[in-house]
Amino acid sequence: MSFLGKEIRLSRLLNRKSGKLLAITIDHSIARGIQTGLIPIRKTLERIVEGTPDAVTMHKGIAEQCFGPHVGKVSLIIKCSSFSPYQPGFDTWVTDVEEAIRLGADAASMGCIVGGPEQPEQLRQLGLMAKQAASFGMPLVAHIYPRGSLIEKKAQYEWKNVAYAVRAGAELGVDIIKTSYTGTPDTFAKVVEACPARVVVAGGEVGNSIEDYLKMTRDIMDVGAAGVTYGRFVWEYAHIPELIQALKFIIHENGSYSDAVKLLKDLVGSRG
């Protein structure tokens, strides 16, 4: 029965047409401090859902208080761990798979930072979470980055380090692995090749414009990514629903970068 449960939840989580994932994360406040776009959390969530991504990732308390009006419109992913501004190299459990199921989630999500002295404990926790998820038939998403203190900052985006991170998640039974973009399609193709699980890309800081993010999205889809899990650059943008539509056009309709830029401009213009 647990295998059927995972199949059912994945069918709700992944886009029916493309089999890919466009998720938006609003789990930043514990990890990175209060950010302007997430202060009016109900309004921000409403604008995200208006764009109809496949899923939204959030912590349990925000789900309890804010997600109710949006039930059935997008899938819910419950974030089960977090780092903090004071412990940036360590994700700790803040809930578990059973509570994510109680909240109606279609997936549980956990962070894991490799390349630091905390890595052994991080991997132990991720392995236990994967065991929990499997026993309940719950898809597991992991946010895995090679940014521990033993890795120089400039090396955090090198493909071998990113490939190590995502492969570690696959080795431990993670279904969907979110990680950093390596900067070029050729290098990211090597990351995807190294990981038998689905690999999706975080937004991070890849450029100075929305066009840079749309270009990255097209590039990573061209080399086999399973989608994206974006956060800040989406909900800090003035036209959230329109941007999500442009991303959906690339990810689910296989649209070109140039056509996505045009679509975004047209949608924003039509709103006035």
Catalytic residues: 27, 145, 178
CB 166 within 8 A of CB 201: no
CA dihedral 26, 180, 177, 225 (to 10 degrees): 110
Q: What is the DSSP string of 14-64?
A: S-TTTS-EEEEE--HHHHH---GGGTTHHHHHHHHHHT--SEEEE-HHHHH
Compute the half-sphere exposure of residue 86: CA atoms within 13 Å on the CB side of its CA.
2
Tokens for 233? 């650059």
| C-alpha 17: how far from chain center | 19
CB burial readout 93-117, b (16+ within 10 A) else e: ebbbbeebbebebbbbbbbbbbbbe
d(CA 56, CA 225) in angstroms, rounded, equals: 19
CB 228 within 8 A of CB 204: no
